[in-house]
């Protein structure tokens, strides 16, 4: 089947992905996790009340109040002590994770030790943190400390057959939003294979070993809510996949070297250390130089790094901007880098600022030259192939053009010859960001916009009013199958076009969009 005549995607599959993008995109990453964990709590209370769980509903509720209450209050206290803003949703997540790890109880002594675990988890975010970014998963660290001190039992009681369906559903929503499904699958497959193999080798029937792996071990919950935490993962996808396998081995292969033995909490803490070792460990401080309007709704911000930065074209940087009156989205954002790595003296970011923007972007617009902004990490895999002979297709929607500006700038700076076609979808002619940069270099630029701009550079071709669809894209670039394709922009555009390219036979498709957290 030719690329032009290939169907883009089935209506059902496209609608399902559109629906998932809409549903998971309506709230922040933190809020989605809170909602999912609260759903598990409600189910646990119902199951406890009906006798389907070993623990009673009053014990679960009392433990929830203690765990969440302590993380909430200590989060506020530590924020005041360290002169930063508290993050209530993060505290709620930590408290709920603590709840599902430790055995619920109504005993006063047990509740006190649960409160201590919650305190340790909350403190680790501030005491064991670099550049306001905690090193360890707080709940896993607290569980490990409590286990080593033998102060409370870590049971991972969430791993029960009754709770598995909702656990799997909520974990999937979190993983879909963060695009960590593959990472989680690596962990689940490796961990389950080890547990099942160990059971079979010890005389357990295969079916029983499989049910034991998923009904008695917290494999799904761990993959969805613990391993997937963005702040404690390494920056590159291959590193994340390798880490998932390593953590699965440590968590599942039986060993006992007192006081250490194979537990999920030990495995994750070790994984967090490995992720920290390969991540950006040195503080990044950026002097704000100025900003310029790209379009009526988007701006470019320019900074001078106080130390040279090492990054690759197409990667992102996580910016931290502490400010008063921060809304629920917090003070941390990830932006694609628009400048080329060869521009060692500056770093630029392009971003869209809506009329009703977040407090972060509002504060960003109010920056004055000379102010200092900090960054916590650099990462991402939206990189061009090393072989310059491979032809490329770059598809962008709106401000999703930003990483390509870094790519094209580096191609020009290094004098590399590449066959590049850029397909750019814009909501209005005046919303075409980086038009002057795209007009340079001689690469083909195919524009989708409601109307033709007053002036089109010689290397541009107007495709039509749009919206940009898979059929339009494949008609405009009939040799797309032979190209390495890249898609960047809003989630729905990325999902639909990536699917269309794959169905048309394009073997190498990379996508880039920030889902938030």
Q: What is the pLDDT at residue 459?
A: 86
Domain containing 296 — which CATH number? Answer: 2.40.30.10
Residue 80 belongs to a domain: no
Give, for 446, the enclosing helix (H) or strand (E): strand 444-448
Of the candidates 316, 298, 452, 287, the residue with the CA atom closest to the CA atom of residue 374: 287
Residues of the chain with pLDDT under 70: 1-15, 18, 131-132, 280-283, 323, 325-331, 355-357, 513-517
| Structural domain ending residue among the three candidates 353, 379, 405 | 379
Residue 502, SS3?
helix
Q: Do residues 31 and 513 lie in contact, with contact meaning Cβ atoms separated by under 8 Å? A: no
User: What does residue 129 show for φ and ψ, rounded to 5 degrees?
Assistant: -135, 145
Residue 451 belongs to a domain: yes
Counting DSSP H helices and E strands in the chain, the numbers are: 17, 16
Domain containing 404 — which CATH number? Answer: 3.40.50.80
CA angle 59, 41, 101 (to 5 degrees): 70
Q: What is the pLDDT at residue 2?
A: 32
- The answer on 413 and 367 residing in a single domain is no
As a whole number of angstroms, the distance between CA 122 and CA 471 comes to 51
Query: Residue 355, Cα to own-chain centre: how many angstroms?
Result: 25
Q: What is the pLDDT at residue 78?
A: 93
* 84-121 per-residue burial string, b: 16 or more CB within 10 A, e: under 16: ebbbbbbbbbbbbbbbbbbbbbeeeebbebbbbbbbbb
Q: What is the pLDDT at residue 58?
A: 97
- The answer on 508 and 400 residing in a single domain is yes
Q: Do residues 140 and 92 lie in contact, with contact meaning Cβ atoms separated by under 8 Å? A: no
Q: Sign of dihedral through CA atoms 360, 363, 369, 372?
A: negative
**Predicted TM-score of the model (pTM):** 0.80
As a whole number of angstroms, the distance between CA 105 and CA 59 comes to 5
Residue 448 belongs to a domain: yes
As a whole number of angstroms, the distance between CA 495 and CA 28 comes to 19
Question: How many domains, the chain?
Answer: 2
Concatenate the DSSP letters of all residues of 138-189 into one string.
HHHHHHHHHHHTT-S-B--TT--TTTHHHHHHHHHHHHHHHT-HHHHHHHHH
Domain with 448 in it: 388-512
User: What does residue 285 show for φ and ψ, rounded to 5 degrees?
Assistant: -120, 130
Unique residue bearing structure tokens 């991402």: 380
- The answer on 396 and 507 residing in a single domain is yes
Q: What is the pLDDT at residue 49?
A: 96
As a whole number of angstroms, the distance between CA 38 and CA 298 comes to 36
- The answer on 412 and 355 residing in a single domain is no
Q: Do residues 393 and 477 lie in contact, with contact meaning Cβ atoms separated by under 8 Å? A: yes
Of the candidates 307, 314, 358, 360, the residue with the CA atom closest to the CA atom of residue 336: 314
| Structural domain ending residue among the three candidates 324, 353, 379 | 379
Residue 42 belongs to a domain: no
């Amino acid at each position: 089947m030719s690329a032009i005549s290939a169907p883009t995607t089935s209506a059902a599959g496209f609608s399902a992905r559109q629906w998932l993008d809409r549903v998971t995109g309506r709230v922040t990453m933190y809020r989605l996790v809170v909602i999912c964990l609260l759903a598990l709590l409600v189910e646990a209370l119902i199951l406890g009340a009906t006798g389907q769980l070993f623990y009673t509903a009053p014990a679960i509720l009392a433990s929830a109040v203690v765990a969440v209450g302590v993380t909430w209050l200590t989060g506020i206290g530590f924020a005041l002590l360290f002169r930063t803003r508290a993050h209530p949703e993060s505290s709620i997540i930590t408290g709920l994770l603590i709840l599902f790890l430790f055995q619920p109880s109504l005993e006063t002594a047990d509740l006190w030790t649960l409160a201590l675990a919650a305190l340790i988890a909350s403190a680790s975010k501030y005491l064991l943190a670099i550049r306001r970014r905690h090193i360890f998963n707080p709940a896993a660290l607290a569980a490990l400390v409590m286990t080593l001190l033998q102060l409370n039992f870590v049971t991972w009681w969430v791993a029960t057959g009754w709770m598995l369906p909702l656990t799997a559903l909520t974990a999937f929503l979190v993983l879909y939003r963060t695009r960590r499904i593959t990472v989680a699958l690596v962990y689940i497959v490796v961990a389950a294979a080890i547990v099942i193999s160990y059971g079979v080798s010890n005389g357990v029937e295969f079916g029983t070993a499989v049910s034991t792996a998923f009904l008695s071990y917290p494999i799904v919950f761990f993959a969805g809510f613990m391993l997937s935490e963005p702040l404690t993962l390494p920056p590159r996808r291959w590193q994340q996949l390798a880490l998932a396998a390593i953590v699965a081995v440590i968590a599942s292969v039986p060993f006992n070297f007192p006081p250490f033995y194979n537990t999920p909490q030990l495995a994750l803490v070790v994984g967090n250390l490995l992720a920290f070792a390969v991540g950006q460990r040195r503080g990044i401080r950026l002097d704000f130089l100025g900003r310029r309007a790209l379009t009526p709704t988007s701006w470019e911000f320019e900074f001078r790094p106080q130390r040279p930065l090492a990054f690759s074209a197409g990667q992102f940087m996580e910016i931290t901007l502490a400010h008063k009156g921060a809304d629920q989205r917090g003070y941390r954002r990830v932006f694609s880098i628009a400048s080329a790595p060869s521009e060692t003296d500056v770093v630029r970011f392009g971003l869209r600022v809506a009329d009703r923007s977040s407090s972060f972007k509002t504060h960003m617009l109010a920056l004055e030259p000379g102010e200092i902004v900090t960054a916590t990490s650099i990462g991402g895999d939206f990189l061009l192939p090393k072989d310059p002979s491979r032809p490329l297709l770059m598809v962008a929607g709106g401000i999703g053009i930003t990483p390509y500006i870094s790519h094209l700038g580096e191609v020009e700076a290094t004098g590399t010859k590449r066959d590049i076609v850029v397909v750019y979808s814009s909501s209005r002619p005046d919303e075409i960001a980086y038009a002057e940069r795209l007009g340079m270099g001689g690469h083909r630029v195919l524009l989708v916009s409601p109307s033709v701009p007053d002036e089109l550079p010689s290397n541009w071709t107007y495709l039509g009013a749009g919206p940009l669809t898979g059929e339009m894209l494949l008609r405009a670039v009939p040799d797309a199958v032979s190209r390495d394709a890249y898609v960047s922009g809003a989630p729905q555009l990325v999902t639909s076009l990536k699917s269309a390219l794959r169905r048309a036979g394009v073997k190498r498709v990379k996508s880039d969009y920030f889902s938030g957290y």
